[in-house]
Structure 1
Amino acid sequence: MSQPLAQRTLIIDCATPALSIALFDGDRLIEATHRELGRGHAEALLPAIAALPEGGRADAILVNIGPGSFTGVRVGLAAARALGFAWQVPISGYGCLDLVAAIARTELAPTEPFAVTMVGGHGEIFWADAASPVTPDGPPLTVRSTPIDELAASLNVGLLVGSGAQTLVDAGARGQAVPLLPDARAVVRLPVTQRTRPPVPDYGRGADAKPMAALSKPRPAPVR
């Protein structure tokens, strides 16, 4: 399923180890870059966009809002907001697991429900149940964050896709594991309802960092 974009659109996706950007004109892919960096998205993202035709200039921007890497989500959104402000163009978001599910539906063509899984850090996995096929106006997936062992023991699907799939199988989950990362070139496979989300981060769970006030202990009263 392909749903053309309404205008010339820049796609920014760096919420996972992949640095993935694409420039579309409607349903025509103008140019794209997709590589697995692991780290270093903050340094590599803007040069990669600048290397696109006309510096990636577009009439709209679509960005992966997560959940995924906390740093990657922030980097992608910051770049999208900065370019949106500079170019005076609208920004929309799409979910990380929604795009991975869309890729799986096209490339693996599952006939039964499957699970989308992404490494979430702190010993947890971001995951969602995904049906196949999805309706043209299908809502975003309901994403949860669950400890690896707990999720491996409870999942009962024949196919697990995403960066957390092999981790879960290694932990005892049943089903076939297919590693997949989001790819900006596949964003046209998303239903329109899944790629028009507000450009705000979806971290999937609480922030890693704690406020200093929460970490500091009350000081004992001075002895007089």
Structure 2
Amino acid sequence: MQSSGRTLVIETASEACSIALFDGAQLVAQDHRELGRGHAERLVPMIEAFPGKGRADQIMTSLGPGSFTGVRIGIAAARALGVAWGAKVLGYPTLALIAAMARKDAKTDTAPTTICVNGGHGEWFVQSFDSLGTPQGLAASLTPEAAARRDCHRLIAGNRARQFAEMRKEADFITLDILPDASRANLLPQACLARDLSPIYGRAPDAVPQSQRVRPA
């Protein structure tokens, strides 16, 4: 994350509603709450409680994959604040943030990482990253059984990391049970940031838009 001014980070793709305010590289304020639900009601008041009501020159928001509702809430808030403040708005993949956190927590900045987190309908989102934090393929939404058959790295992180490792029945894994934390967005590789705010769903949305529904003949 490179910015000479203030950056507001919004992370709402998981069970956590997490925000942080940076001044350059310095963390000014943070609020991280594991809500499960209720991001829409909590997000704006949390931001308004920050110094200067969170006003920033740049906004970073999670793109998912994760909760469809949570991802949309974060992107909508970032876009609205970007217009109001005249701020640059960037998006980042949620699993890339978890991978960056995992490398730091495991005290090895060069370890390739596999991320496994809650998906929808009992599935898990799974994605691997190389030692530089570059994605190795797209995030996939899989049943636990299908996820356990995928190739993975020794370092596994996310709120389904332990279960993932247990299903593999191998003893040599390092697992970190973590959720994405906005206050650690400074760990993200710069290449992960994008102006395109298209959500990363990882699977088809549960609801089909009216315009895409097949009409009876």
Paired residues for 1:26-105 under 5 Å: 26-105=24-103
- Residue pair 1:12, 1:22 contacting (<8 A) in 2 also: yes
Letter in 2 for 1:40: G
* Residue in 1 that maps onto 2:10: 12
Note the alpha carbon deviations across 1:109-157, whole angstroms, 9 max, x for none.
Answer: 356533111211123221111223x17xx56863222221111133443
- Residue pair 2:7, 2:21 contacting (<8 A) in 1 also: yes
Secondary structure (helix, strand or coil) at the match of 1:154 reads coil
- Residue pair 2:128, 2:136 contacting (<8 A) in 1 also: no
Mean Cα deviation higher: 108-117 or 9-18: 108-117
* Residue in 2 that maps onto 1:154: 150
Note the alpha carbon deviations across 1:63-107, whole angstroms, 9 max, x for none.
Answer: 001111111001101111111111121110011000000000111
Pairing 1:128–2:124 present: no
CA distance 1:8–1:98, shift in 2 (3 Å)? same
CA distance 1:131–1:47, shift in 2 (3 Å)? same
1:169 CA displacement? 3.4
1:62 CA displacement? 0.5
- Residue pair 2:3, 2:24 contacting (<8 A) in 1 also: yes
1:18 CA displacement? 0.8
**What CA distance in whole angstroms lies between the structure 1 residues aligned with 2:191 and 2:146?**
31
**What CA distance in whole angstroms lies between the structure 2 residues aligned with 1:55 and 1:23?**
10
Note the alpha carbon deviations across 1:169-216, whole angstroms, 9 max, x for none.
Answer: 354454343211111111111111112342221111111113458778
Secondary structure (helix, strand or coil) at the match of 2:41 reads helix
**What CA distance in whole angstroms lies between the structure 1 residues aligned with 2:70 and 2:55?**
22
Mean Cα deviation higher: 33-42 or 155-164: 155-164
**What CA distance in whole angstroms lies between the structure 2 residues aligned with 1:87 and 1:209?**
33
- Residue pair 1:61, 1:92 contacting (<8 A) in 2 also: yes
RMSD: 2.4
Note the alpha carbon deviations across 1:39-79, whole angstroms, 9 max, x for none.
Answer: 11000000000000010001111000111111100110111
Gaps of 5+ in 1: 220-224
* Residue in 2 that maps onto 1:222: none
- Residue pair 1:118, 1:165 contacting (<8 A) in 2 also: yes
* Residue in 2 that maps onto 1:145: 141
| TM superposition score normalised by structure 2 | 0.88
- Residue pair 1:6, 1:26 contacting (<8 A) in 2 also: yes
Gaps of 5+ in 2: none
- Residue pair 2:100, 2:188 contacting (<8 A) in 1 also: yes
Larger Rg: 1
* Residue in 1 that maps onto 2:115: 116
| TM superposition score normalised by structure 1 | 0.85
Secondary structure (helix, strand or coil) at the match of 1:46 reads helix
